[in-house]
Amino acid sequence: MSVYDDKQLTERVDASVEKLAEVSKALAPIRAGRTSAQEVLSSVRGGLSRRTAFVCSVFVASFVSPLQAQEPKKLQGADVTSKLVEIQNYGIDKAAASDYTVDGNQRFDGFFLKADKLIFKKGSKLVFSRQALQTRRVFYVVARQIVMEDNASPGTITWEGATDNSVPNVAGQAGTGNYPGGGGQAGAQGNDGRTGESAPTLYLAVLSTPGSGPIVDLQGLVGGSGGQGQKGGSGGAGGPGDNASQDLFNCRHGAGNGGGGGAGGPGGPGGLPGRGGNGGSFTLLATPDLIAPLSSRVRVLVSGGPAGSPGSGGPGGDGGPGGPGGADARPYCQGSGSQGPSGPPGAQGAAAPADTGARRGTAGDFLVGGMSQDDFKRFLYGGN
Q: How many CA atoms are closer than 13 Å to the CA of 115, on its beta-carbon side?
A: 17
Region of poorest pLDDT, from 19-33, 146-160, 233-247: 19-33
- Do the beta carbons of residue 220 and residue 198 sit within 8 Å? yes
pLDDT over 50 (residue 299): yes
pLDDT band at 90 (very low <50, low <70, confident <90, very high): confident
- Do the beta carbons of residue 300 and residue 201 sit within 8 Å? no
Tell me, letter by letter, the H, E, C secondary structure of the chain: CCCCCHHHHHHHHHHHHHHHHHHHHHHHHHHCCCCCHHHHHHHHCCCCCHHHHHHHHHHHHHHHHHHCCCCCEECCHHHHHHHHHHHHCCCHHHCCCEEEEECCEEEECCCEEEEEEEEECCCCEEEECHHHHCCCCEEEEEEEEEEECCCCCCCEEEECCCCCCCCCCCCCECCCCCCCCCCCCCCCCCCCCCCCCCCCEEEEEEEECCCCCCEEECCCCCCCCCCCCCECCCCCCCCCCCCCEECCCCEEECCCCCCCCCCCCCCCCCCCCCCCCCCCEEEEEECHHHHHHHHHHCEEECCCCCCCCCCCCCCCCCCCCCCCCCCCECCCECCCCCCCCCCCCCCCCCCCCCCCCCCCCCCCEEEEEECCHHHHHHHHCCCC
pLDDT of 70 reads 65
Please compute the mean of the pLDDT values over residues 122-143 and round it to a whole number: 96
pLDDT of 18 reads 52
Q: Which comes out higher in pLDDT, residue 114 or 24?
A: 114
Most confident range (mean pLDDT) of 5-14, 167-176, 202-211, 291-300 is 202-211
pLDDT of 253 reads 94
Region of poorest pLDDT, from 83-92, 191-200, 325-334: 83-92
Please compute the mean of the pLDDT values over residues 201-230 and round it to a whole number: 95
- Do the beta carbons of residue 118 and residue 147 sit within 8 Å? yes
pLDDT of 384 reads 59
Q: How far apart are CA 319 and CA 29, in angstroms?
A: 62
pLDDT over 90 (residue 17): no
Sign of the Cα torsion 158, 159, 160, 165 reads negative
Q: Which of 162, 163, 157, 145 is nearest to 108 (CA)?
A: 157
Q: Is the peptide bond before 315 cis (omega within 30 degrees of 0)?
A: no
User: pTM score, two decimals?
Assistant: 0.76
Sequence-ordered list of residues with C-beta below 8 angstroms from that of 102, at least 6 positions apart, any chain: 118, 119, 120, 121, 124, 125, 126, 155
With 0-12 / 13-18 / 19 or more C-beta atoms within 10 angstroms meaning exposed / middle / buried, residue 137 is middle
Give per-residue pLDDT as tens, 37-78: 444 434 444 444 444 443 443 333 333 333 345 678 999 999
Q: How far apart are CA 363 and CA 301, in angstroms?
A: 9
Give per-residue pLDDT as tens, 348-376: 999 999 999 999 999 999 999 999 999 99
pLDDT over 60 (residue 22): no
Most confident range (mean pLDDT) of 81-85, 89-93, 121-125 is 121-125
Region of poorest pLDDT, from 3-7, 99-103, 201-205, 217-221: 3-7
- Do the beta carbons of residue 75 and residue 367 sit within 8 Å? yes
pLDDT of 383 reads 66
pLDDT over 60 (residue 153): yes
pLDDT over 80 (residue 20): no
pLDDT of 304 reads 97
pLDDT over 50 (residue 218): yes
pLDDT band at 5 (very low <50, low <70, confident <90, very high): very low
Terminal CA-CA length for the chain: 71
Task: Write down the mean pLDDT value for the chain.
Answer: 85
Q: Which of 277, 276, 299, 279 is nearest to 364 (CA)?
A: 279
- Do the beta carbons of residue 316 and residue 266 sit within 8 Å? yes
Percentage, residues of the chain above pLDDT 70: 81
